[in-house]
Structure 1
Amino acid sequence: MSGRAVRFAVLTTVALLAFGTTPALAQDEPTTTTPPVVTTSSTPPSSEPAPPPAQPQVLSTKDSLTGVLYADRNANTVQDAGEALSGVVVTAFTVRVANSPKTTTNANGEFVFRDLEPGVYQPLYELADGWVVHHDSSRDYVIEVTADNTTRVTARAERPYRERLSVTGSLDRESYHYPSSATTTVTITNISDRRISGIEGACNTNFSGIGLGPQRWPGLWGSGVALEPGEQRTFTAVAQLPERSRREGRVTLDCQFVPNYGFNKDGPTLHDEAVVTSDNGGYTMVVGEDRNANSRIDADEAVQGAEVVLLQPQTGKQIAMRTSGADGKIEFVDLPVGDYDAVVRGSWAFQDTSRVQITQPAGSGHRILKRAVPAELKASLKFGKPRYEVHETISVELTITNVGGQPAEHVQVAPFSALEVSGEQFGDLRRDGPGVRIPAGESRTVSVSGKIRQLWDDKLTVIAEIYHAGTSGYFTSLNEVEIVQTTGDIIGVVYTDKNRNGQMDPGEGAVRAELELGGGTPLRGYGGSTDDNGRFHYKGIPSGYYSINYTLADGWAVHLDGDKPRFRVEPGKPVELVARAERPFRESLKATVVLDKSTYQAGDIAKITVTLTNTSDREIRGVQAGCNRNAELNQLGGRMGFTPMPEGWGDLRPGTEGVTLASGETRTIVATEKVPAKALESRAVAVACDFAPNPVHNTDGPSGYDWASVPGRFGAVDVLLAHDVNKNLRVDPGEAVPNTRIALMTDREYGAVVADAVTDANGRAYLDQVPPGEYWAWIDGPWKFEDPNNAYVRVGADAKIQGWFGVVPGQAPAPPGTADGEQVATGGTSGGMRVALAKTGASVLGLAFLGVLLVAAGVAMSRHGRTGARSAHALPEASVALDSKKS
């Protein structure tokens, strides 16, 4: 294997172990303080009288990995007489081979591995009586073996941390009503007679859907907590109940507390759980065959694998689907209370009633099944005539036949994609209707008609998508029917109603207004502009539905009173359009939006005070709010185009009559809405709205914005700063850069500082309490990134990013006191980095708190009137390029 290949393999493996995102409370400072005295009577395997001294092993020229293993009985961190562990099996674990090599320690605790392939290995020790080899970092957790060299290891065994630490704690309640927060309290006691440092907590490390965490424990993060002998400390943490806990009816807390949890797993654990209730209910059903006709289901009559679907009786919409287990049991949980139709999929059917009632608390019952041939639908389509002109109304007859053995329940037909057919024409068969029941062997026929919506290659193909209870859909298409193309004309005028009299007067024609016309059969787009009199003319365009957009100079806007108008072009008389433009609503309306608090918890009810003022001399009717146009999950006001505005917004909701303002009038409306759980991740909740009559289409109204913090989750960055002099893609002795500040900034040039730290003597810096987000690292010293893009860091919630920043010598920072009161630091990246500071002389560190607020505001405003320059080299959240030579 070449040296380059070896380095790549080493880097890849170490990246998996040391550069990953550590869940929950990430590992911390190595526990290199004076270790605690062992307080247990347990002894290591070599407690019998020591054998005669053995001769030290002589290394051969092919010795690859050697080491010594000892039990540090007196906790002085060095090997003393009688502490060697003999007869212990040691494995040089590697993922590259199925059976990793093993050896055994001799009387001096020594072990040797010969002729190992170059690569990365993890020594594993099979110790008895609970002794554990602890690890301070990845450097003693995984070992690199290189060709023609011998790697030496010293393994110090200690008593497990569960014998030296005691932990108690619990959730604050025995039951919760979803949605709500749970408060956890934990008390940690050092029961040894030596100081223990770097203690951290890791919760829900198996990522259970009902577990709290991974979460940050205040005080058990960053460098962890240190406890003196006998010292006891209590910590609390607040977390939202996970959504799955609502469905399963319980929430769990499972944590372990240990120094450097990333490599040590022998700390004391904490478990607690509580009941979770909600406004929903459930039902438990047992299904089986009544073979002995005793009107019940005996143990040997249960049916496994039966799929039961619950449907809304009014719409036929599928609410839930469950499969019976070996005991025939099916549990429907966390469903809205009410009555539902139940249907068995496949070769089974209910013998009697199929109605299920979801109640709170959950009910139960049994259902007897019988063998059945499932329903099977076939469909045929027939046109009214074999040939149509493109502008004509197309008539279609749809016949659905059940060729199966059981009735087809809740049969529905999806809208035709190729034709403009209203749902009402399908009657009960419409997709949002109750559906119809088609017994075995029977048919249902429906006739519908509509204009052509889509056309390909002058042929029309109508596809019917048919559903019935428990199926995902059935498709059929008929033979193509020929369509003859026809054309028509559009003539129109655009004018600016300068005197506001509602009609076009001389001199009001909109000159060179830009036009965007779209539609027709087949669908096409057309540009254009008005002439010197504001008029336009489209000749000979394909028949079909069209819509048009107008862009005028000087801010004039064509306002819409309802939905975006669609008009139909056909042969014969041209379509005539008149577009009246007005001044934008922002010139006649003023708006402010204010939240009632600066800080909320997720689930709190936020009060949003909206103040509207009509500054014009005319009445303005039907003012509504258009909020969250970017559909952000941490914003209030619904998600424009996705989620309707909540009812707490009253008359400001689109679709209502809106708010009427007389000339000069000011109105105040207080809207209410629950703070979304997603605000925890961004640590902020925001409201961003604009206001106008019909804001769905009129987007030129005044806007208002406010945000508040939501205490949430943090991340951290654990980094080494180094100059890779020999270019071997690792930090070797003498390459670390000590006593140098590293800062994370919200923007590469003008960002605010959100966290900073100074590297220690080993070049290590730990940046704690970092809000989730994207940042650029800045180096305060005569160093720079060889590639500025490698300064990019993405921090996730409840996660720690580990790695190293590779830097090269660069220009020292410029002194403070530049023009306009700015201080400029130029050593952060190649070419320099400008860090704008206040004229008051505030330091970079002093702006850290302000930086956190700016990050929260920036996340809340995400894409709302904001531009950013994210590097094209940005990496996924789970990994980050901290080394200038690593991609």
Structure 2
Amino acid sequence: MSGRSISRAVLRFGALTTVAVLTFSTAAFAQDDPASTPPAPVETSAPPSSAPVAPPPAQAEQPESISGVLYADKNTNGQRDPGEEISGGKIDILGGADESAYHSTISGDDGRFAFSGLAPGTYHPTYQLEDGWTVHHANAGGDLFTVKANETTEISVRAERPFREQLTATATFDRESYRLPASATIKLTITNTTNRKINGIKPRCDSRPNGLGSGKNWDALVANGLSLEAGAKREMSIVEEIPEEASLGGVVTLDCSFAPNPGWNGDGPSVHAEAKASGGAGTYTLVLGEDRNADSRIDEQEAARGLKVVLIDPRTGEQVVERTTAADGKVEFSGLPVGEYRVVLVGWWAFTDPAQELLTITGKGGADHRFLKFATPADVRTTMKFDKPRYESHETVTVEFTVKNNGGQTAEGVKLDNSLYSLLIPNEQWGDFGWNGRGVRIPAGESRTFSYSGKIRQFSGGKLTLNGFIKFVGRPDRYFHDFDGTADIIPTSGSVTGLVYEDANRNGRPDAGEAAPDAVVEISGGAPLTYRKTTSDAEGRFSLTDVPSGEYWISYTLAGGWIVHIETGTPQIWVQPGTPLDLTTRADRPYSELLKATVELDKQGYVLGEDARITVTLTNNADREIRGIKHGCNRVGDSNHFGGTSKDPFPAGWGDLNYYEPGVTLAAHETKKIVVTEKVPHGARLKRIALVACDFAPEPGFNTDGPFSFDWASVPGGVGSVKGRLAHDRNNNHVVDPGEAVPGARVLLMTDKENGYQLADSTSDAEGNTRFDQAPPGEFWAWVDGPWQFEGDNGKVDIRADAVTERDLFVVPVPQAAPPPAQQHSTGGTRGALAKTGASVLGLGLLAALLVAFGFGIRVAGRRRTS
């Protein structure tokens, strides 16, 4: 148990409430002269757990066994000074010959206390003091004192401020996530905030299976402790191997407190750090079969051949891997992340013992044989019913599914295979049986019932139709619907009215002169599917009548650059009969006017896998608060962009700026800098450039008018080559026939077809052969000097990393000679064309890739960062 846990536990036990079972020795404290004031009265009782007893008969006054003084060392000089006495402090002791005698007293106005008539033995004191004052223990086993017969033990008890007020501590990991096997580097900082030296500061860390703080690199600190002079700070880096258990739970943690003698002093500062943990792989071999002869092994003729075996992650319900047993019944799993899996047998076999369904993968590997019995496969059947046979189109529909397993094995991962699109069902209803859920387990012979409710999204011919499939692990191929049902629909309709205004004074409400005339209002949706359009009048009002009931998307188009922003949720409305839906719609200036944003990478070059630090600076130009600002990075979906790719759409390092996070709030005219961290995306190696290109706005999934900024950095990557023949394909057979080669022509490789940057050039030999080596990957365009030109896309050249692209370049004559390349392509800051003596372009790949990535020509040459 940690010192922090001890403190919490102590609070639950009446008298022992300040520091659990703290103990003291007389040698641990300075001896003060007895004060002249008589000692405070002593309250003596049985231990709290004892039954009440009759009061003892009156006895003669007994001599003091313990006489002491309790003081608060306010000036931290280690001794009792006038005015430091603690009155009203509660002192409890437990001990004696049988270690069960309990006594309690209260310190007087002069801080003095006494216990009389104690039996000889060792006693453990604890203290309850006001205002946070604490009595600390200096010895590892607690500070004990001993009472002797007919002697008075004099003690002086020093209280001080909690160690969490005397020390500060921080701890961070070097990474936000780890893939095992891996080690974490812990940066630990401890600071003495007092005006005196503190000795023997040690850690006490929670010993969770996925936690750090107990490795060998901690031994010196645990054994010797840390001494800090007044005001001193010590920074340490401790490397510790991450345990496999961290991968099982997906997180590695560090939870420690720091104090002298932390086993007894649980009031030191605590630290918490955590990071994601994954990976760590192992192998496992299973042999599956019957044991017909009951010899506790699987003989050759007992092996289960050709049996499909599926492993499922029981935490997520996800199917991880599928294998088939060999002729000897053996199936091998390799490279699986460490963790626990459920083994599912697909077919006519089941485990004789359900406990055999679980399989644990560790880094040490494993092997086992497991016995099977004959069992019919899972057979899932579904019935569906509506809560009534007829609905009006605006009503809520409830549908119930009853799913029964008629087979002889447990059905794993049972869930809907489609989303029941005709009903608008809230996400929170779906649960594990929903189409996006983990699936449910239904044992043989059992059934489950699920119910969903939602508004009608679509219907046809006066009928609402629901049909679909149920999926589960090992489901045989079937081509009929598992469920199919219809209900009658009576169409209904409603009206939409509203006001559109331009919030010129930005007070969030319509005022005189702010009406938006001629605003185009469009709605699309409903059941049946409907599109309607109208325009606001001179007062900004609009009206749509006889609109079929249902869900609609609504949009507004205003003149003068005014925009209706989506501030929460989605631009959807619900129309139904009765009172018209009345909307008040606020138009605002574009976020590109209200906000300013810049993004800046911390380096101009990275290597693959390196952490990049991106500084995002956001400024609110408006005179009102703007909430929920998030990034809209990499909207083109390229693999070399920061801010999210298809494999990792929401990188953790972007924090509140990510799409599903709260976003950043800016007060009027406030500027904030946010530093995010993200690994260089994998695609940057192929394109030799890493890009961050983002706009920023609240709800950026809908509001795309935020300020835009980009930055880029080079990334070393693979290079490629292209070779082929330059020819005039006179017979249009796409083959270089004899006499069609074009020798001695200068061929240029450009970054763009029209306004490209000259990347390299080469000259065709006598047979028309030309070649470009060490070119950056990407899309380029060939240009030929002389009386030739490329038609259409014939000049397009795609270069792949670490590969040679072979293709012929077909040209046609031009009516007149093209201008020399020096006149046509050397402008725009090209820094001069490459020499004609070689076709290597190594070193220009970065610039070329930049231009290609942005689709720019020579106009952006020399410009790096923009906003």
Q: TM-score if structure 2 supplies the norm length?
A: 0.62
Structure 2 residue corresponding to 1:442, chosen from 442, 446, 449: 446
Closer, same or farther: CA 473–456 of 1 in aligned 2, 3 Å: farther
Aligned to 2:370: 367
Within the candidate set 424, 427, 433, 1:429 is matched to: 433
Provide Cα deviations, 1:297-356, integer angstroms capped at 9, x if missing partner. Answer: 234432221112222324422222221122322223333322222211111111112011
Deviation at 1:609, TM superposition (A): 1.5
Question: Residues 331 and 513 (structure 1 numbering): CA distance in 2 closer, same or farther, change over 3 Å?
Answer: farther
User: Comparing both chains, which one has the higher relative contact order based on Cα–Cα distances under 8 Å and sequence gaps of 6 or more?
Assistant: 1
Instruction: Find out whether 1:488 has 2:489 as its counterpart.
Output: no
Q: Structure 1 stretch 289-298 or stretch 628-637: which is displaced more?
A: 289-298
CA distance in 1, matches of 2:464, 2:548: 15
Instruction: Show the counterpart of 1:635.
Output: 641
Aligned partner of 1:517 in structure 2 is 523
Going from structure 1 to structure 2, the CA distance change for 1:725 and 1:386 (only over 3 Å counts) comes to closer
Q: CA 1:327/1:595 → structure 2, altered by over 3 Å: closer, same or farther? A: farther
Alignment check: 8 A CA contact 1:314 1:433 kept: no
Change over 3 Å in CA distance of 1:370–1:719 after alignment to 2: same
Among 788, 797, 801, which residue is 2:801 paired with? 797
> Is 1:358 equivalent to 2:351 in the alignment?
no
1:579 is displaced (CA, Å) by 0.9
- Which residue does 1:714 correspond to in 2? 719
User: How far did residue 697 of structure 1 move?
Assistant: 2.3
The letter for the 2-side match of 1:495 is Y
- Matching of residues 162-561 of structure 1 within 5 Å: 279-352=280-353, 353=355, 354-413=357-416, 415-422=419-426, 424-425=428-429, 429-431=433-435, 435-471=439-475, 475-561=481-567
1:815-842 Cα shifts (integer Å, max 9, x gaps): 58xxxxxx544xxxxxxxxx35247983
Corresponding letter in the other structure for 1:683: R
What is the identity percentage for the equivalent residue pairs of Structure 1 and Structure 2?
A: 50
Instruction: Give the aligned residue type for 2:464.
Output: L
Secondary structure of the 2:587 match is strand
- Residue 762 (structure 2) aligns with: 757
**Given the alignment, which residue of 620, 629, 654 partners 1:614?**
620
Q: Distance in 2 between matches of 1:728 and 1:840?
A: 38
Judged with a 3 Å threshold, the aligned counterparts in structure 2 of structure 1 residues 649 and 281 are, in CA distance, closer, same or farther, namely: farther
Give the direction of change, closer, same or farther, for the CA distance of 1:317–1:862 in structure 2 (3 Å limit): farther
Q: Partner of 2:846 in structure 1?
A: 853
Is the CA contact (8 Å cut-off) linking 2:311 and 2:344 kept in structure 1? yes
Structure 2 CA distance for aligned equivalents of residues 562 and 621 of structure 1? 10
- Alpha-carbon contact 1:682-1:859 (below 8 Å) kept: no
Give 3-state SS (helix, strand or coil) of 1:330's partner.
Answer: strand
Question: TM-score scaled by structure 1?
Answer: 0.60
Match for residue 777 of structure 1?
782
1:239 matched to which residue of 2? none
Worse-matched range after superposition: 715-724 or 567-576: 715-724
Report the Cα distance in structure 1 between the residues aligned to 2:655 and 2:729, rounded to whole angstroms.
Answer: 62
Are the structure 2 counterparts of residues 598 and 508 from structure 1 closer, same or farther at C-alpha, using a change threshold of 3 Å? same
Cα deviation, residue 178, structure 1: 9.1
TM-aligned CA deviation for residue 688 of structure 1: 1.1
Residue deviations 1:617-676 (CA, integer Å, cap 9, x gap) = 333333221211122222111148x85421111222223332233344332221111122
Secondary structure, aligned partner of 1:857: helix
Unaligned runs of 5+ in 1: 1-175, 181-276, 817-822, 826-834, 868-887
- After superposition, give the CA deviation of every residue in 1:146-182 in whole Å (9 maximum; x if it has no partner): xxxxxxxxxxxxxxxxxxxxxxxxxxxxxx99999xx
- Cα displacement (A) at 1:807: 3.5
Kindly indicate whether the alpha-carbon contact (under 8 Å) linking 1:634 and 1:860 is maintained by their aligned counterparts in 2: no
Shift of 1:698: 2.1
Q: Helix, strand or coil: the match of 2:535? A: coil
Amino acid at match of 1:543: S
Kept after mapping to 1: 8 A contact 2:522/2:532:
yes
Q: Say if 2:758 and 2:833, in contact at 8 Å, map to a contact too.
A: no
**Which of 822, 827, 837 pairs up with 2:827?**
837
Is the CA contact 1:750–1:836 (under 8 Å) kept in the aligned structure 2?
A: no
For 1:578, the aligned partner's letter is: T
Structure 1 residue 515: deviation in Å? 2.5
Distance 1:706 1:620 in 2: 25
The verdict on how the C-alpha distance between 1:729 and 1:627 changes in structure 2, with shifts beyond 3 A counting, is closer
Pick closer, same or farther for the CA change 1:623–1:803 going to 2, 3 Å. closer
Which 5+ residue runs of structure 2 have no aligned equivalent?
1-177, 183-277, 861-867
Deviations 1:836-875 (A, max 9, x none): 52479833659967863343124544799x99xxxxxxxx
Which of 575, 581, 586 aligns to 1:580? It is 586
Match of 1:96 in 2: none
CA gap of 1:501–1:437, structure 2 versus 1, over 3 A, is: closer
When residues 677 and 303 of structure 1 are mapped into structure 2, their CA distance, relative to the original with a 3 A threshold, is: same
Query: In the alignment, is the contact (CA less than 8 A) between 1:467 and 1:473 conserved in 2?
Result: no
> What is the CA distance between 1:685 and its match in structure 2?
1.7
Alignment CA distance shift 1:555-1:763 (3 Å): same
Local SS of the residue matching 2:536 = coil
Q: What SS does structure 1 have at the residue aligned with 2:482?
A: strand
Question: Equivalent residues in 2 for 1:8-87 (5 A)?
Answer: none
Check whether the contact 1:594–1:608 (CA below 8 A) recurs between aligned residues: yes
Q: Residues 283 and 577 (structure 1 numbering): CA distance in 2 closer, same or farther, change over 3 Å?
A: farther
Q: Which has the larger radius of gyration?
A: 2
Cα separation, partners in 2 of 1:529 and 1:337, compared to 1, 3 Å: farther
The residue matched to 2:808 in structure 1 has which SS?
strand
Distance of 1:311 and 1:419 partners within structure 2: 31
Distance 2:727 2:549 in 1: 69
Matched residues in 2 for 1:795 and 1:481: separation? 58
1:594–1:841 distance in 2 versus 1, CA, 3 Å: closer
Structure 1 residues 747 and 292: alpha-carbon distance in aligned structure 2, compared to 1, 3 A threshold: same
Deviation at 1:486?
0.9
- For 2:300 and 2:617, how far apart are their aligned partners in 1? 67
* Structure-2 separation of matches of 1:627 and 1:725: 48
- The number of equivalent residue pairs is 578
